[in-house]
């Protein structure tokens, strides 16, 4: 088969490469512990599962989802209520909220809705690899802006060249940040919105880690910034706070024209999320939040053990206030690929090489905190023994 050119423009998908590495190593008889992918090990809360079970038994939900690609109004109302309570952001559930099959889908369909072939999308480097694929599928040209440790892994708007700003159509951001764990302030979002308005650029915040926060930190929505509703869309997801990665449900919120654009792509592409999953998501958003808070205590304890181990072998990662990732420099003089290979070889542990997130990810690696405690502790003990 002659594949489409767009596929040839994509590097191998980072997490597929990692999955393959894990499989190969297991085939060689290695007891691999993967700290590579951010996929929660804990179960979905029982009341959410019960809501799914009940809704799945009702034949009214066996047909196409209500309001298909938009999501049920009840789900959208629940999202609007949650955004009002959580961020103080007022959303019209009819026009400013959309159900998604996970936030990754939203990134992709937003690109199809807004980018013409030859348009320019600006991506953060390092950045989540799916943004690149989404922009490329829309035929866009990709330009990257560096995120550096000195700047707290936030882009410097004063350093984006005027020429690039003028031609850009869309800027992808993600705070709390995957892969670096960096966070953004309201002042940062205000600066981002002012920049986007000045240059007429669509602003995206991918926000699935909004609830994965520690040490009293509360994540800020881009929509809290004044004027953000004019230029911005935010993607969020039930995946991380409620251990629902497999359920595939998230939401797009923000500028009504952008929401309508994504919706138009979706009505021609998919038929939305199974109603029963939407009822489960409503139960998650509207129900008790204790399990989610306890989950963050669990991640915080894991984060602290990872930091302690990495520091004990001479590395100096920052302490992340959010996300379930630790982003650490590699040992002096070692590339991220070499270090990831050495960790697999010497310790049977998979970490994600920073280079997989872009050129500026070189010299770093990412550890995900989403493995069972005993396996994490085993992995840390092996890393400590191998690199002390
Ligand atoms: C990751 O490891 O970065 C996550 O699994 C990404 C995702 O949520 O798709």
Write down the pTM of the prediction.
Answer: 0.95
Domains of the chain: 5-43+290-387 (3.90.1150.10), 46-286 (3.40.640.10)
With cut-offs at 50, 70 and 90, classify the pLDDT of residue 68.
Answer: confident
| Ligand 1, pocket-test mutation among 177, 178, 209, most atoms within 8 A of CB | 178
What is the residue with the minimal CA distance to atom 8 of ligand 1? 38
Asked if residue 39 has its Cβ within 6 Å of ligand 1, the reply is: yes
CB-hemisphere CA count at 13 Å for 366?
Answer: 30
pLDDT range class, residue 14, cuts 50, 70, 90: confident
Percent share of the chain, pLDDT over 70: 100
Alpha helices per DSSP H over the chain:
5-8, 14-27, 46-57, 73-87, 103-114, 129-137, 162-167, 186-199, 228-231, 256-267, 275-286, 290-312, 336-347, 373-387
Give the model confidence (pLDDT) of 306-353 as tens digits: 999 999 999 999 999 999 999 999 999 999 999 999 999 999 999 999
User: Are residues 233 and 259 in contact, defined by beta-carbon separation less than 8 angstroms?
Assistant: yes
Q: Are 223 and 87 in contact (CB under 8 A)?
A: yes
pLDDT at position 126 over 90: yes
User: Which pLDDT does position 336 carry in this prediction?
Assistant: 96
Look at ligand 1, atom 4, and give the residue with the nearest C-alpha: 38
Residues 309 and 369: their CA atoms lie apart, in Å, by 13
Let me know: does 117 contact 140? Beta carbons within 8 Å. yes
Mean pLDDT of 51-76: 96
Q: Is 263 in the pocket of ligand 1 (CB under 6 A)?
A: no
The reply to whether ligand 1 has any atom less than 6 angstroms from the CB of 38 is yes
Question: Environment class of residue 13 by beta-carbon count within 10 Å: exposed (0-12), middle (13-18) or buried (19+)?
Answer: middle
Cα–Cα distance for residue pair 282/278, rounded to 1 Å: 6
**54-59: average pLDDT:** 98
Query: Which atom belonging to ligand 1 lies closest to the Cα atom of 39?
Result: 5
When pLDDT is cut at 50, 70 and 90, the band that residue 168 belongs to is very high
The pLDDT, as a whole number, for residue 260 is 98
**Pocket of ligand 1, candidates 36, 39, 244: which has the most ligand atoms within 8 Å of its Cβ, to mutate?**
39
Judged against a pLDDT cut of 90, whether residue 196 lies above it is answered with yes
Is it the case that residue 1 has pLDDT exceeding 90? Answer: no
**Rounded-to-integer distance, Cα 68 and Cα 264, Å:** 11
Say whether pLDDT at 73 is over 90: yes
pLDDT at 377 (0 to 100): 98
Nearest CA to ligand 1 atom 7: 38
Answer whether 250 contacts ligand 1 (Cβ < 6 A): no
pLDDT at 13 over 90: no
In whole angstroms, what is the distance from residue 155 CA to residue 157 CA?
6
Indicate which atom in ligand 1 lies nearest the CA of residue 36.
2
Q: How far apart are CA 74 and CA 52, in angstroms?
A: 15
Q: Which atom of ligand 1 is nearest to the CA of 104?
A: 9
21: confidence class by pLDDT, cuts 50, 70, 90: confident
The mean pLDDT value for 248-270 works out to 97
- The token pair at 76 is 């959208």
DSSP string computed for 320-369: -SBSSEEEEEPSTT--HHHHHHHHHHHH-EE-EEGGGG-GGGTTEEEEE-
Q: Percent of the chain scored above 90 by pLDDT?
A: 95
Average pLDDT over residues 123-149: 97
Q: Is the pLDDT of residue 263 over 90?
A: yes
pLDDT, mean over the chain = 97
For residue 36 and ligand 1, the question of a CB distance below 6 A is answered with no
**Mean pLDDT computed over 185-198:** 98
Residue 106, ligand 1, Cβ within 6 A: no
Does the CB atom of residue 178 touch ligand 1 within 6 A? yes
């Amino acid at each position: 088969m002659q594949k489409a050119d767009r596929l040839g423009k994509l590097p191998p998908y980072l997490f597929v490469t990692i999955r393959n590495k894990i499989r190969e190593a297991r085939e060689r008889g290695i007891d691999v512990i993967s700290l590579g992918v951010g996929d929660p090990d804990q179960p979905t809360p029982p009341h959410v599962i019960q809501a799914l079970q009940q809704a799945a038994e009702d034949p009214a939900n066996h047909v196409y989802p209500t309001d298909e690609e938009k999501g049920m109004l009840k789900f959208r109302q629940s999202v609007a209520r949650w955004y009002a309570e959580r961020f103080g952001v007022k959303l019209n559930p009819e026009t400013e909220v959309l159900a998604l099959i996970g936030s990754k889908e939203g990134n992709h369909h937003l690109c199809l809705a807004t980018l013409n072939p030859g348009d320019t999308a600006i991506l953060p480097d390092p950045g989540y690899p799916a943004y690149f694929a989404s922009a490329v599928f829309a035929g866009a040209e990709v330009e990257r802006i560096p995120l550096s440790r000195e700047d707290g892994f936030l882009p410097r708007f004063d350093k984006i060249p005027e020429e690039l700003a003028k031609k850009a159509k869309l800027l992808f951001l993600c705070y709390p940040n995957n892969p670096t764990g960096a966070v953004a302030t309201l002042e940062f979002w205000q600066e981002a919105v002012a920049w986007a308005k000045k240059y007429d650029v669509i602003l995206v915040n991918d926000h699935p880690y909004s609830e994965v926060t520690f040490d009293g930190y509360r994540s800020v929505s881009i929509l809290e910034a004044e004027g953000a509703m004019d230029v911005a869309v935010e993607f969020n997801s039930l995946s991380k706070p409620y251990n629902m990665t497999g359920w595939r449900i998230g939401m797009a919120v923000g500028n009504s024209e952008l929401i309508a654009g994504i919706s138009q792509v979706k009505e021609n592409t998919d038929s939305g999320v199974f109603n029963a999953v939407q009822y489960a998501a409503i139960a998650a958003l509207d129900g008790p939040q204790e399990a989610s808070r306890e989950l963050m205590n669990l991640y915080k304890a894991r984060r602290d053990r990872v930091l302690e181990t990495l520091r004990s072998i001479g590395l100096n990662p920052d302490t992340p206030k959010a996300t379930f990732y630790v982003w650490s420099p590699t040992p002096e003089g070692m590339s991220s690929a070499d270090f990831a290979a050495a960790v697999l070889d010497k310790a049977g542990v998979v970490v994600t090489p920073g280079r997989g997130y872009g050129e500026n990810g070189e010299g770093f690696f990412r550890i995900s905190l989403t493995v069972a405690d005993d396996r994490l502790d085993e992995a840390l003990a092996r890393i400590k023994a191998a690199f002390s």
